[in-house]
Structure 1
Amino acid sequence: MNVLRQLQGFFWEKRSYLFLSMLCLAIATALGLVYPQLLKVLIDDAIKLENYGIVPQLALTVLGVVILKAFMQFLHGFFGGRLGNYLAYSLRNACYEKLQFLSFRYYDTARTGDLMSRLTGDLEAIRMFIGFGFAQLLNLVLMVTFGSIMMFTISWQLTLVTLVAMPFLVVAALKFESRIHPAFQEMRLALSSLTTAVQENITGVRTVKSFAREPHEVEKFSERNERYKTNQIFASSLWARYFPMMELFANISVVILLAVGGGMVIKGSMTVGELAAFFTLIWYIIGPLWGIGFHINNYTQSKASGERVLELLNQPIDVEDRERAVDLVPSEVKGHVVFDNVTFAYGNKMAAVKDINLDARPGSVIGLLGGTGSGKSTIIQLLMHAYNVNQGSIKLDGVNINDIKVRSLRGQIATVFQETFLFSSSIRNNISYGMKNVSMEEIIRVAKLAKAHEFIMEMKDGYDTIVGERGMGLSGGQKQRIAIARALLKDPKILILDDATSAVDMETEHEIQSGFQEVMNGRTTFIIAHRISSLRHADEILVLDEGSVVQRGKHNDLIAVPGPYQDVYKIQYADLIAKQAQSGGTQGQVQA
């Protein structure tokens, strides 16, 4: 019940629905006890005494009880449904909000399919139990309690003898619960893995087909499906093992009732009507106890689901606003960025960046060059406060970014990532993402700067064209240009271009770079690039290798000295250097 206590805050505001649902179910349960009494009267007072005049009254009484019971059950379903839906609504909002604010560190290892499973299947299991299952468990207790009391009023001796097998039924049910709960936990994990496989396959279907790896994907899915099937079979085997046992104990009680009760009727210590009522009441008790496995099943499923949802909700947020964190005043932000001996490592891995020192003056352009894994993107992510640095500090306009509210800090930064993501919406909405009251003129202006306006206008619906899921309707270069326009529309003080022109041709890159010259004025810009042409106009270029700065300076200075930068330059401009050498030119002439 600890899981339910932790979930209490999500439905306690509507606890009146819970209490009304339970009250209506309790009334319906109590009304059900009228039937055995009416049966007793029918046999002993009407049939035995041939007093058939009371039969119509009994029939009308039964009709009234049935109608009232049905109405109570309707109210139980109505209030239970309202409660369950409110809980699911609150939990779904809380989970989604949590996902928005979880740090980058969490998403480094999170699986999309697993998260989808928690927000769908797990939430549904919790909704059903809180809305209906919890009241049904209470109803079980009420039925057993009310039924036992009525049986005692008829014959306490027969009651004690009849219920002798009930403890064994309860023990079997509890044993079943202890075995089935771990099975359901494993089943949820297997389903999550299965969902992840489907999601990844659908997302990467073009890669799968291009490598002709369909059989491999089928085999991989089959393995996970086999795991899920095995867990399902194991859970079914538990049901098959324990339910016959519980049925046996239940029927033993009936056999005892018929044997002992029949003897009491023969001896005259009990009437036939009392025995018939007793027989009805024993099923009133056996039914709930027999179905206790079903209720326990629902409870264990909801418990396992609740644990998974709470695991998400209780995930620590690595990057949070400090108590005295301040909001930036946009008009006062200059964009002066300083890295002071910054060192950072992902988890227990080796340091991704080590002793990084950088002084980016307002309006300056900083270039970052290095191989894969050299730490370029890490520096940018640290500037965005996606992670907390292990050592050193990062300051914006003299203020440690840890003392600035995360949302306020990122509000002054616009990033164009190497892997462009577009939403399944119109081009207009993708460019204006997160911006309110943006005019069409502004959208067109930034699209022209990003060299996207022409290809957008060539489309049938222009800026209202729906790009499809993750922008699948566009080429890589087109997606990057829309992402650049989206960043420019934000009008940031700090602009980050993470290999933003990698998917466009050299000519388009040159056009975009020309547009950037206007945009970069008055903004601090960080450019991550593999092409020297994107960095040659930077005020300072940092060359990184294994997380450390191995060279720094301007383009002309770096190509003049042996080192990694000159090596990259020679590789990228090998043909041009060879032509210049044949014509008697110098490296300096190539640069010019």
Structure 2
Amino acid sequence: MNIPPKKIPANSSNSMLDLYTHYGRNHRFHIFCGILGTLLGRFSGLLPAFFLGLAIDLIFFDQSLPTSYVFSSQLESFSPSSILILFSVIIALSFFLGAVSMWLGDRGWNAFAQEIQHALRTDAYDALQALSMNFFEDSRTGELLSIINNDVNQLEDFLSTSFSDALRLVVMVIGVGLILFLLNPELTIIAMFPVPIIAILAYLFVRNIHPKYVAMRSSVGGLSSRLEDNLSGIEVINTESTKPYEKGRVSDSSSEYYNTNWAAISTRIKFFPMVTIITGIGFVLTFTVGGLWVLSGPPLGFSRPLTPGTFVTFVIYVQQFVWPIAQFGQIVNTYQRAKASNSRIFGL
């Protein structure tokens, strides 16, 4: 009962990469379905705002499309009601495509996550079986159970949702940025200003949070070990009347987990509000500058015109852009938690 727990070493050199290159090799179909569903879903989500802006300019403000649009000449022969019906059908189809893509993506990523967790859990157990008895004499069962069960389960959120969210975010930044730049490159500069600031904050967040998550996952193993040892030796504890002493040791292990977990929480709860504030400022600037642009002409030395339909498209796209960017912090947070757990698994 007095053997100190042995800390399982973390191996963070390339464990997250190995997770996909080694274990993902046999699940390419699930990865393909996940990526395809994510890309199609994000693409379909960009269509409604684009055609809504066109409809506003063509139908309600009787403005002609730029000649750069490949279908501008064909739409000239359409009546306003025909354009409205056509765009309504396109928007309806985009929502249907989005629903099918969501099912395909979720099925692919969740199947991939479950298959990888199963393979990791069995491989970790197989690795334990190959170790010498000296390792088990120096290690606690609770620590090993924490790795095989808790750390493996910790990967589920990242494998099933966070990776697809990150891919969706990349597509969103590229797709929205490209469309906005084609519509009005000057207003796009204002709309995209949060991106580099959030990238800097994310770098600082990752640098600070990762060692805290490693310490937290290690303390989970220590707490599991303490509880496992005490419960398995509860008869000895009752016989020798050491209940207050053992309670104190459990309290110490629990306090270590509390302190390491709270250290990670303190860092995390500072990062998320900062990202939300920055993305909100970007939306307000886009709405204010764009609104003045439509009402009074180009401000701040800009020169390109801005139609009401393009302004509406900008506002919708920036709003779609704001919330995924705000969720970027959660993606980074889940990745760091998964990386800490994965390092302990590969440490076996």
Same fold (TM over 0.5): yes
DSSP 3-state at the match of 2:193: helix
The correspondence for 1:117, drawn from 146, 160, 172, is: 146
TM superposition shift of 1:56:
4.8
Which residue pairs with 1:174 in the alignment?
203
Which residue pairs with 1:394 in the alignment?
none
What is the one-letter code of the residue matched to 1:43?
I
State the alpha-carbon separation in 2 of the partners of residues 302 and 259 from structure 1.
40
Deviates more, 1:238-247 or 1:76-85: 238-247
TM superposition shift of 1:232:
2.2
Which residue pairs with 2:44 in the alignment?
31
> Does the CA contact (< 8 Å) of 1:177 and 1:293 recur in 2?
no
Which residue pairs with 1:14 in the alignment?
27
Which residue pairs with 1:264 in the alignment?
293
TM superposition shift of 1:164:
2.5
> Does the CA contact (< 8 Å) of 1:43 and 1:272 recur in 2?
yes
How many residue pairs get aligned? The number is 312
Which residue pairs with 1:459 in the alignment?
none
Residue by residue over 1:57-85, the C-alpha shift from the partner in whole angstroms, topping out at 9 and shown as x without a partner, is: 44443332212111111111111111111
State the alpha-carbon separation in 1 of the partners of residues 59 and 232 from structure 2.
73
TM-score (structure 2 length as normaliser): 0.84
Residue by residue over 1:156-183, the C-alpha shift from the partner in whole angstroms, topping out at 9 and shown as x without a partner, is: 0111133233211221122112111111
State the alpha-carbon separation in 2 of the partners of residues 48 and 223 from structure 1.
71
State the alpha-carbon separation in 1 of the partners of residues 90 and 36 from structure 2.
22
Which residue pairs with 2:95 in the alignment?
66
State the alpha-carbon separation in 2 of the partners of residues 264 and 21 from structure 1.
41
> Does the CA contact (< 8 Å) of 1:24 and 1:75 recur in 2?
yes
The correspondence for 1:208, drawn from 233, 237, 250, is: 237
Which residue pairs with 2:268 in the alignment?
239
Q: CA RMSD in A?
A: 2.0
What is the one-letter code of the residue matched to 1:287?
W
Which residue pairs with 1:189 in the alignment?
218
**1:489-568 maps to which residues of 2 (within 5 A)?**
none
Deviates more, 1:291-300 or 1:15-24: 15-24
What is the one-letter code of the residue matched to 1:36?
A
> Does the CA contact (< 8 Å) of 2:38 and 2:101 recur in 1?
yes
Residue by residue over 1:143-166, the C-alpha shift from the partner in whole angstroms, topping out at 9 and shown as x without a partner, is: 100010011011001111332332
The correspondence for 2:338, drawn from 282, 286, 302, is: 302
Structure 1 regions of 5+ residues with no counterpart?
313-592
Residue by residue over 1:413-458, the C-alpha shift from the partner in whole angstroms, topping out at 9 and shown as x without a partner, is: xxxxxxxxxxxxxxxxxxxxxxxxxxxxxxxxxxxxxxxxxxxxxx
Structure 2 regions of 5+ residues with no counterpart?
1-12, 63-78, 298-304
Residue by residue over 1:369-393, the C-alpha shift from the partner in whole angstroms, topping out at 9 and shown as x without a partner, is: xxxxxxxxxxxxxxxxxxxxxxxxx
Which residue pairs with 1:479 in the alignment?
none
Deviates more, 1:96-105 or 1:4-13: 4-13
What is the one-letter code of the residue matched to 1:17?
H
> Does the CA contact (< 8 Å) of 1:21 and 1:80 recur in 2?
yes
**1:276-295 maps to which residues of 2 (within 5 A)?**
276-295=312-331
**1:67-466 maps to which residues of 2 (within 5 A)?**
67-268=96-297, 269-312=305-348
> Does the CA contact (< 8 Å) of 1:144 and 1:288 recur in 2?
no
* Bigger Rg, which one: 1
TM superposition shift of 1:45:
3.2
Which residue pairs with 1:316 in the alignment?
none
> Does the CA contact (< 8 Å) of 2:272 and 2:330 recur in 1?
no
- Distance change in 2, residues 1:215/1:42 (3 Å): farther
> Does the CA contact (< 8 Å) of 1:84 and 1:132 recur in 2?
no
- Percent identity among equivalent residues? 24
